[in-house]
Amino acid sequence: MTQEEDSTVAEDKKLVQAITSMDVDFVQWYTDVVKKAELVEYSSIKGCMIIRPNGYAIWEMIQKELDRRFKETGVENVYMPLFIPESLLQKEKDHVEGFAPEVAWVTQGGLDPLQERLCVRPTSETLFCDLYSRIVQSYRDLPKCYNQWCSVVRWEKTTRPFLRSMEFLWQEGHTVHATAEEAEARTEQMLNVYADFCEEVLAIPMIKGRKTDREKFAGAEATYTIEALMHDGKALQSGTSHNFGDGFAKAFGIQYTDKDNKLVYAHQTSWGMSTRIIGAIIMVHGDDSGLVLPPRIAPVQVMVVPIAQHKEGVLEKANELYNTLKAAGYRAKIDDVDKQPGWKFAEQEIRGIPTRIEIGPKDIEAGQVVVVRRDTREKIVVKIDEVADKLSEILETMQSDMLERARKHRDAHTSVATNYEEFKDAVENKPGFIKAMWCGDEACELKIKEDTTATSRCMPFEQEKISDVCVCCGKPAKKLVYWGKAY
């Protein structure tokens, strides 16, 4: 350790100590990370968060990746109004019952009270249906696969940054099809887009499955979901895709003339992913030093940190390296502010930047640098001339290691229960998913929730038969269900 590094250990420690250990208090750890990494700031409106540059840059990366994948499947972007007239919201019975209790109402515009209240969109099914009822006339107009990136509002009492807030950012896709089969295919396709994105880019393995009727979207025929396991063993619903059948089409009169000149109802889907997924990135990969961002989603992939930067030639060489990395296409930054390396290391670690490159006088003399991985803290000595080549390997290895580690953690925190005692013991003592059989009766779902606070996460597409009977009532089982406590 150089003198410079040595002198900064105290300062370094202080920064790191500001984050509560995740084993001591996971909830506080999460809040600390979100705040210290400067992802969000609280606002004057209770329950609404400000997404700061470090947080928003992650969302921009997510948008870019998802948007590209959407467009590859033929999706087009649109923008729908922020407001929904009360009468329009009420057109689909289940839908309004699901959302009305948690919407914000505009009752005055300018100086005048409104004749009809407008709700601030909690989701935009009703607006898309209204549009489709006007622009879909013939089978030639189908399918329409629209998406929008926007914010939505849900009046939540208890809020937490990214996980649950009164306003959040998301995308909502809404499609309309000629047949039930096409709608079903699109519902599955978009769930797969989400799952692949999470695995390939966010290094988060997902369980894909179907929600029970109790947990499905208000107005949907079927809701498919991807469920992830957080570090503390709680589940997080990370994206959903809904098949509406022709329910909304009937409520909104979305009809078209088919090839035989018959007037028939269209079939619809909707699907969404929100800033909530940033919470998943934090809680799956983070550690006691802060965020750990998977290289493919990190807004900054590598931070060049000059050591003893006042010494002749160091800053020059560090900048040269930084420029080489940028030219090679890395999302690189250089931290050349007048602070001690230890402070810079802690800063880079809190922010979860996947790698840092330490470059000091001795390194330069030896024609090498030290690449440090954020996830393992492994130090890799690389020749200066080879950094631009080697770094992509290091980042790709880190990416796949992170996915592997998350998968192992999830598998190690997935237990099996074949009777109610085992089930209750698992909820109590083994944080994580619990796989158990279910009779299909909502009463059992409710009882489990009341007894244990665990909820049905999904009926996985990959069904296994681990017992013949329902884990709760003992009657013949219909489905394997993933259960868990959830965010």
Give the binding range for a second copy (CB under 8 A) out of 15-23, 70-78, 170-178, 422-430: 70-78
Binding segment (CB under 8 A) for a second copy, from list 46-54, 195-203, 356-364, 456-464: 46-54
Rounded least distance, CB 343 to a second copy, Å = 13
Distance CA(390)–CA(385), nearest Å, equals 10
Q: Alpha-carbon dihedral of residues 470, 476, 481, 485, nearest 10 degrees?
A: -20
- To the nearest whole angstrom, how small is the minimum distance from the Cβ of residue 111 to a second copy? 6
We find the least distance from the C-beta atom of residue 477 to a second copy, in angstroms, to be 38
Q: Is residue 80 part of the contact set for a second copy (CB under 8 A)?
A: yes
Give 120's strand partners: 83
Residues 87-106 that bind a second copy (CB under 8 A): 88, 101-106
Which one among 16, 48, 185, 486 touches a second copy, defined by CB under 8 A?
48
Closest to 306 (Cα-Cα) out of 348, 361, 355, 353:
361
Looking at the Cβ atoms of 212 and 275, the one nearer to a second copy is 275
Q: Which stretch binds a second copy (CB under 8 A): 80-88, 181-189, 411-419, 474-482?
A: 80-88
Q: Pick one of 6, 25, 41, 404: the residue that binds a second copy (CB under 8 A).
A: 41
Cα(162)–Cα(66) distance, integer angstroms: 18
Closer by beta carbon to a second copy, 353 or else 403 = 353
**Cα 266 from Cα 249, distance rounded (Å):** 6
Q: Which of 15, 19, 49, 384 binds a second copy (CB under 8 A)?
A: 49
| SS3 at position 248 | helix
Closest approach, Cβ 56 to a second copy, in A, equals 5
- Minimum separation from the CB atom of position 257 to a second copy (A): 17
For 151, residues 6+ apart whose C-beta sits below 8 A from its C-beta are 167, 168, 169, 170
Look at residues 365, 166, 374 and name the one whose alpha carbon lies nearest to residue 288: 374
> Does 169 contact a second copy by CB under 8 A?
yes
CB nearer to a second copy: give 240 or 275: 275
Residue list 136-155, contact with a second copy (CB under 8 A): 146, 150-151, 153, 155
> CA 420, CA 423: separation in Å to the nearest integer?
5
Nearer CB in complex with a second copy: 1/337:
337
DSSP designation for 332: E
Q: Which of residues 109-138 bind a second copy (CB under 8 A)?
A: 109-111, 117-118, 120, 127, 130-131, 134-135
Residues ≥6 apart with Cβ < 8 Å to 393: none
Q: At closest approach, how far in Å is the CB of 68 from a second copy?
A: 12
Cα separations (Å) of 295 from 148, 302, 332, 372?
Answer: 27, 9, 11, 13
Nearest to 38 by CA among 277, 347, 486, 321: 347
Residue at 67: amino acid letter: D
Taking the C-alpha atoms of residue 69 and residue 171, their distance in angstroms, rounded to an integer, is: 13
> Least separation, in Å, of the C-beta of 127 and a second copy?
7
* Closest approach of a second copy to the CB of residue 363, in Å: 28
**Closest residue by Cα to residue 37 from 27, 22, 52, 47:** 52
Q: Residue 415 in contact with residue 433, Cβ under 8 Å? A: yes
382 touches a second copy by CB under 8 A: no
Q: Does 327 bind a second copy (CB under 8 A)?
A: no
C-alpha to C-alpha distance for 118 and 106, rounded to whole angstroms? 5
335 contacts a second copy (rule: CB under 8 A)? no
Residue with tokens 């060489």: 317
Q: Between 162 and 420, name the residue whose CB sits nearer to a second copy.
A: 162
| Interacting residue ranges for a second copy, rule: CB under 8 A | 41, 43-45, 48-53, 56-57, 59-60, 76-85, 88, 101-111, 117-118, 120, 127, 130-131, 134-135, 146, 150-151, 153, 155, 166-167, 169
